[in-house]
Structure 1
């Protein structure tokens, strides 16, 4: 599996990452631990989680459970040094600490909570799940209105958080810093403010990116190349749409759609039309559509480690069979034609 550096952090990871947001809901403890074992057996040693996980659904009473499951694996196996571990501080969701969010006064306490649940004394990549000023991710781009933002308040907030995370980095509690669901303006400001206050420089940004969601391709791509920020792309299979399992009205039992009917706003007629075109393309070239969608991520002109999740060990095994695939220029050109014909399908 191809290795890439996370920003300028010196941390090397595979260009795929094991996502864990179903650990503790759709995936039980034994299955969760088996997935980490299988990933490591295939050379995939990068694992991403978050304070607010598991999802489907997010519930106040289960917040932190995924980290606990991973922590139990670390304690049981003693293999902390074998994995690169990324986690996040929750944003202002009412399900996470009553909507407290994070700030200079709370971030070190929140970090200690992550560390305690994970049963480790350091986190390789510590991320903030949402910018506290708001975000256009998760279909909010259609109605996004930043006019109420206060620039100086935002910069002061960033400075305070980064100063505290700088203390955590010096104490050895975190190695690198990243954001999630962030914009190009936000990323560059986090970088500028870090230089001003001596805080950790942003190494990664975790945003949605797939054949069906390509907002990252413009301003964010330019930011990533010039500022040396690695994309940790989430939902590279578009919450399962790109597998084809939801075509023609199908809703498999215990699937994400069976639990979350519209897939967070992704279930649209145009999405199914686009998926149909990608399925046809994969078939015409003798490719598995899952492997094609994942391999496309490594064809992009900016650095990516694609975070994928699997509910079952069989699903994980299937995905991993395509871990070294590279797409031909012909296939990537056809993908771009489909995207141009059916852009932004949700």
Structure 2
């Protein structure tokens, strides 16, 4: 498996990362152990999790994924893999996580890391992501910035925890050896540039990696963020490369096929938008016309983008995991890539 460095961190990771968001709901401890062992045997050394996993987030399952991972980690040599987790922020209604949480302040960040390390049965995280911004931004299927969300119910400006305060809390954890590098997730260009500017001006830790959604039907990163990544030497860890299974074409063949889309009502609003079905069908037809599976087309496209650092894949069974990893050896022809661009121009980003 090819390797790459996460930004300027010196941390070397595989070009595929194993996502774990199904562990503890759709997958058991035994399933998780089998997947993790198989991934490491294939040369994958990058493992991605979050304190709020599994998904969809629920009070009765929150933190189970980290706990399951911890049971596996306890039996491993810690230097064999790179471990990333994420701290939940405010504004998502998850009252079961640290009472809200109220914000990405020092107390919340430190408590989140402390609790994650205990569940994961390790002394440090290689990467800690802020799972989504503290401030008001469109995310998780929202696509329009709303200035009204800058105000509280009384019409007063919301007092967000500053980016500088967030970086100062992260700096403490790095100096204490509890995290090695920091990342942002579901972030916008302005936010990433502010983190970089403040880090430079105040001598605080620099962001090494961005974890955002990227796939054939959501290529919004290309409008502005890709330039930032390139010029600032930030790695991209793309999530949802199969668009919650839509790009496997399984829901075209069977709208009731088992998966997160059908198991969890109201989940994944990003992929319920009007143009998604037509776009996924078009990409599936393109794959078939060139002797590829829809999974091979979708994953190979993301895996081999010039700006890609590592791609996070997940699976609920070993057959899926094997197919997803094997797709890395598929390289799309110039003809196929040109056809993808034509489809993209006619049905651009139906799942922002």
TM-score normalised according to structure 1 size: 0.93
User: Aligned residue for 2:154?
Assistant: none
Partner residue of 1:256 out of 237, 256, 260:
260
CA displacement 1:210-242 (0-9 Å, x = unmatched): 001111011111111011111111110000000
SS of equivalent residue, structure 1 residue 306 = strand
Partner residue of 2:187 out of 171, 182, 192:
182
CA distance in 2, matches of 1:249, 1:311: 18
Partner residue of 1:135 out of 137, 140, 153:
137
User: Aligned residue for 1:126?
Assistant: 128
CA distance in 1, matches of 2:191, 2:51: 22
Q: Is contact 2:46-2:83 (8 Å) kept?
A: yes
* Residue 336 of structure 2 is aligned to residue 335 of structure 1: no
User: Aligned residue for 1:63?
Assistant: 62
1:262, distance to aligned residue in structure 2 (A): 5.4
User: Aligned residue for 1:114?
Assistant: 116
User: Aligned residue for 1:85?
Assistant: 83
Matched positions, count? 341
Q: Is contact 2:302-2:308 (8 Å) kept?
A: no
SS of equivalent residue, structure 1 residue 98 = coil
The alignment's C-alpha RMSD in Å is: 1.9
Matches for 1:137-176 after TM superposition, within 5 Å: 137-141=139-143, 143-146=144-147, 149=150, 157-176=162-181
1:200, distance to aligned residue in structure 2 (A): 1.5
1:149, distance to aligned residue in structure 2 (A): 4.3
1:73, distance to aligned residue in structure 2 (A): 0.2
CA distance in 2, matches of 1:98, 1:172: 27
User: Aligned residue for 2:324?
Assistant: 319
Partner residue of 2:201 out of 174, 196, 201:
196
SS of equivalent residue, structure 1 residue 179 = strand
CA distance in 1, matches of 2:307, 2:76: 35
1:309, distance to aligned residue in structure 2 (A): 0.9
* Residue 31 of structure 2 is aligned to residue 27 of structure 1: no
CA distance in 2, matches of 1:27, 1:312: 8
Matches for 1:204-223 after TM superposition, within 5 Å: 204-223=209-228
Q: Is contact 2:261-2:268 (8 Å) kept?
A: no
User: Aligned residue for 2:72?
Assistant: 73
User: Aligned residue for 1:296?
Assistant: 301
User: Aligned residue for 1:8?
Assistant: 8
Is 105-114 or 262-271 further displaced after alignment?
Answer: 262-271
1:31, distance to aligned residue in structure 2 (A): 0.1
**296 and 217 in structure 1: CA distance in 2 versus 1, 3 angstrom threshold:** same
User: Aligned residue for 1:232?
Assistant: 237
SS of equivalent residue, structure 2 residue 238 = strand
Structure 2: 5+ residue stretches without partners: 152-156
TM-score normalised according to structure 2 size: 0.92
User: Aligned residue for 1:99?
Assistant: 100
SS of equivalent residue, structure 1 residue 340 = helix
CA distance in 2, matches of 1:236, 1:202: 23
Is 18-27 or 241-250 further displaced after alignment?
Answer: 241-250
CA distance in 1, matches of 2:302, 2:21: 20
CA distance in 2, matches of 1:330, 1:182: 33
CA distance in 1, matches of 2:279, 2:24: 32
CA displacement 1:136-169 (0-9 Å, x = unmatched): 222211x421465499965x62111211211111
CA displacement 1:8-65 (0-9 Å, x = unmatched): 111111111111000000011100111100100111111100010011x311232111
1:187, distance to aligned residue in structure 2 (A): 0.2
